[in-house]
Structure 1
């Protein structure tokens, strides 16, 4: 078929008893049970793995299920993790509040600062984990240099590539070991799926991760895999429009008299502009900005914008506006938020693919009240 069908089944029939036994022994390829593998899911996994230049991938029930799989596979009691202080709020909480209960310690640093990363390494550091650009401040981490630094100390590098997608950035090519995504965002692109994925560089690592995935569950279901696979077909043209719109809006905001500062990787004013141009093919579809009037002005803008929708998440065809400190990153302590530059006045935009003039007009309606 032109479109892979949806195998909406929990289990698969064996040819005979010996066939089933061979599958369970791993002597023959085939499908047993959807938690362990499914043709619809595998078609989507292979598409993402190919885009990321990886060997194989494992689809997960959510982005956080992918985070959980990564750390269950790579860490044990007594290990140490270095994590960027600008990652998705629940990732920070998972490491500091949950994984810590099992004897894994995490040091949160500014991974855009190579000296700070270097000083955080310990003899038991097993993983360096970061998003780049960071969430929500859009700080940019040098994937190649961090990978060289980590590998010289025997640590793995895991990059959450959700904000860029493989269309704009390929961390495995730049030296990272593992890539993950919340496929809820740009990969699916239509705000109607919750899903994640982990992309492995080697078949050996894939087998290791697959065994753990089979034990803990948290896998994507066939219908959501079908929707993500369909979304990926338009990923490249969507990312082009996201980038085009976001750059125009970032320039508009930077010139606005009520805006204190704008963070967007492809603005020349961004502190990591040169690295962004070198490492990625576009600035992405996310902008953060701070208003001169602080939090109260931000609330007025969010409550009065037109076209934009006040909602969390990002990466869909529709444009969203939200307040990280009280929403996506509210699970972080205020100390960690401020350390990461997530102030109470910060506003995050997920720029969709609507007409850019409509989007600027919609923002202007809110900014009148700032």
Structure 2
């Protein structure tokens, strides 16, 4: 039986509150690990954007705090392959869930030619070789390639994968699988070269949770952070087959771990069982969010988060995250771009509507905060953003 209808504005306010977007975490309240845990994961394809995503959610934090959480003596974050096979920050404390759940998500059809694909046994062999090579080591991609080929055979090094300006060896097609199985993560750069290590060397030695337990926990965590949500919305976020996601939701519903609610006339939305309290007041205020911020990627329905002109201006073919966005009262109301020259950071913001005096002052404060997180001096420019979507 569904509970009373929940408005989108109430759901949106709860999402922002739980993600430290209404009130950034105070010192001692939550560190980078806890903040990323609240986000569920932080997209890190663009390092500066990931540092902003986390830093803007913490009062007074800078990118150095985020880097210390990644590479310091007691790391609380790991940079590895996360949902959708893309690079994310994940909290060390939840790696057993992530490795168990990501390994449980069924893969889609291979994009590679039949003769270039790896068999399941070859995939296992390569993942095992990666884990052995990275045990207690930090290796560049070339060093790791030599180790993998030496442990498997020349077939793993065949240059068959189309890359940016050439061809990559066959084994690299399953690097994300190694990340999902918990045997590979990023280590500090060696000069300009990216290096890799095992997550155990980054601070986590707990084994993965079982697939069933981990998948159920990930769904409950998703619903806590972004609910009410449907199983297709979760499937889209996780790049998982819709049927598999539906089966996980059905199992959790049967066990009484999640419950159905009605949001904006959609009765097939779900929340964690008993988690039905929502803020009475709508969101107020101005926020700047960077490329690929978790909030805009995971929040649905898109039509409510990106209303009117925002749906055309701030989405790339319906895909969220490709533009840094301006939020006004909890919805996307513009786009922005930053350009750095030394310590000066020019923040150009293109509102899609007029801002009142109070919102203009908040925008100035947000631009200043962007500069602080990135350890620079922000200069705010209000005007058209000429830069297109992130490729």
Q: Please indicate, yes or no, whether the TM-score normalized by the shorter chain is above 0.5.
A: no
Select the structure that is richer in strand: 2
In which range does the TM-score fall when normalised by the shorter chain? under 0.3
